Amino acid sequence: MKKVIAIYTILATICWIVSPAFVGAIDTGLTKDSGSGANPIVKASWEMYPSATQGLNGRDDSTDPASQFKASGIYDSDKTIQVCSIVTDTDGMTDINNVYADIYYPTGISGKPVHPTWGCGNPHGNEFLLSQLLKADGITLVCNELQNSTTNSNLITWETGYSYTEVCNPDGELMKGTAYVYCGSAVLDYEDPSGDYRTLVLAQDKSGKNGTNGTSGHPFTYLATTAYEVDFNKISYGAVKLGTTKTINGNLAWDSVGTNNATVRNVGNTRLAMTVQQNDMGLGMTGSDYNVSYGARLGNDAAFAPYAPNAAAKQLLAELDLSSSNEMDFTINVSKFPVTGSDTFTGTMTLGAVYVDHLLSPCEN
């Protein structure tokens, strides 16, 4: 019996998928649904320190009205602050979508040449979110800590028509829950320029309607802190020849603290000028004149400032900008050595710094 072998042919259909023509840009758009109802109301705003042990306790660095903060004066040691606000909405607190804050640098000063955008009223970082506190926490902060403070009840900047009485009375808005406190964190760099900053608080409801603490916000002050660090703890003049000026040069590299690698850096929030004093290292006097004289400068392109032993602090000619460092160079000239005693002389140098105004160059838009 023959076997019948059936052969089946499978026909495959090949489909080509043709892509549409490439479009380089697609237009998009929307229209804000403004809805109806009233704008949110920002009744008050302020800045303060957070506290790890006491929560938000309404502290700053001065008893003066509004907020003042001291810079750390320590390299890379910044200050965290809290921006807070009291917000209400006649359409109900559930209509509040979010509360934001923007901080702006002082006007009329420039951070040039190191930080050209620091100053001139420019934004300090990005806008950030304020979070609603629990009702009880807001009441404790505003109506207990701040209202009853003997030194800091003037921390808050109130908008016209609002006060502690209006929000803290038994029928006040914080008590009734028709207003809440919102707070969020911001960081002031150790080297941010001193001066009057500005905080603008923006409350936005679910229809996109806005409320602010005035048209320009309120000021707070970053107090002037003039501070420096050096990477040397000794200047060794080595072997010194009579009547010959010897120079000890520093450098621009920040080294571990040592001898003769003299570098100084600005760790405050002001510009500064260095000062120097020194005793006579036991070299004595001839008549009314010391047997040794000194010189110092900041940076190798500055002139040396001469100074005598035991004189008042000598201010060096060059200045140190924010966030900057430079070398310090020193000179010595001995006109006479004592004829008796040791050939080794030691003494003490005292460094200092004085405040220098920020640059006031015209601000650019």
Domain ranges for the chain: 41-223, 228-356
3-state secondary structure the chain: CCCCCCCCCCCCCCCCCCCCCCCCCCCCCCCCCCCCCCCCEEEEEEEEEEECCCEEEEECCCCCCCCEEECCCCCCCCEEEEEEEEEECCCCHHHEEEEEEEEECCCCCECCCCCCCCECCCECCCCEEEEECCHHHHHHHHHHHHCCCCCCCCCCEECCCCCHHHHHCCCCHHHHCCEEEEEEEEEECCCCCCEEEEEEEEEEECCCCEEECCCCCEEEEEECCCCEEECEEECCCCCCCECCCEEECCCCCCCCCEECCCEEEECCCCEEEEEEEECCCCCCEECCEECEEEEEEECCCCCCEEECCCCCCEECCCCECCCCEEEEEEEEEECCCCCCCCCCCCCCEEEEEEEECCECCCCCC
Per-residue pLDDT at 32 = 59
According to the model, what pLDDT value does residue 57 have? 82
Q: In Å, what is the CA distance from 224 to each residue of 112, 243, 317, 362?
A: 18, 43, 21, 21
Cβ neighbors of 315 (< 8 A, separation 6 or more) are: 273, 274, 275, 305, 354
Residue 163, Cβ density class (10 Å: 0-12 exposed, 13-18 middle, ≥19 buried): middle
36: left (phi over 0), alpha (psi -120 to 50) or beta: beta
Per-residue pLDDT at 31 = 61
Q: Nearest-CA neighbor of 280 among 271, 272, 289?
A: 289
pTM: 0.85
Distances (CA, A) of 258 to 32, 149, 276: 64, 48, 18
Tokens encoding 256: 């571990």
Token representation of residue 353: 């710094």
Check if the beta carbon of residue 238 is closer than 8 Å to that of residue 324. no
Question: And the tokens for 250?
Answer: 């520093």
Amino acid 4: pLDDT = 40
For residues 105 and 122, the answer to whether their CB atoms sit within 8 Å is yes
Write the pLDDT tens digit of every residue in 190-214. Answer: 999 999 999 999 999 999 999 999 9
User: pLDDT tens digits for 310-335?
Assistant: 999 999 999 999 999 999 999 999 99
**Nearby residues of 107 by Cβ (< 8 Å), 6 or more positions away:** 119, 120, 121, 363
What pLDDT is stored for residue 6 in this prediction? 40
Tell me what pLDDT residue 56 has.
76
Nearest alpha carbon to residue 324 among 284, 356, 346, 348:
356
Output the pLDDT for position 347: 97
pLDDT at position 256, please?
85
For position 190, what pLDDT does the model report?
Answer: 97
Pick the CATH number of 41-223 from 2.40.10.10, 2.60.40.650, 3.30.750.24, 2.60.120.1440: 2.60.40.650
Q: For domain 228-356, give the fold.
A: Jelly Rolls (2.60.120)
Q: Write out the chain's pLDDT in tens, 365 residues.
A: 444 444 333 333 444 444 556 667 888 886 655 556 799 999 999 999 997 666 678 899 999 999 999 999 999 999 999 999 999 999 999 999 999 999 999 999 988 888 989 999 999 999 999 999 999 999 999 999 999 999 999 999 999 999 999 999 999 999 999 999 999 999 999 999 999 999 999 999 999 999 999 999 999 999 999 999 999 999 999 999 999 999 999 999 998 888 899 999 999 999 999 999 999 999 999 999 999 999 999 999 999 999 999 999 999 999 999 999 999 999 999 999 998 888 999 999 999 999 999 998 667 54
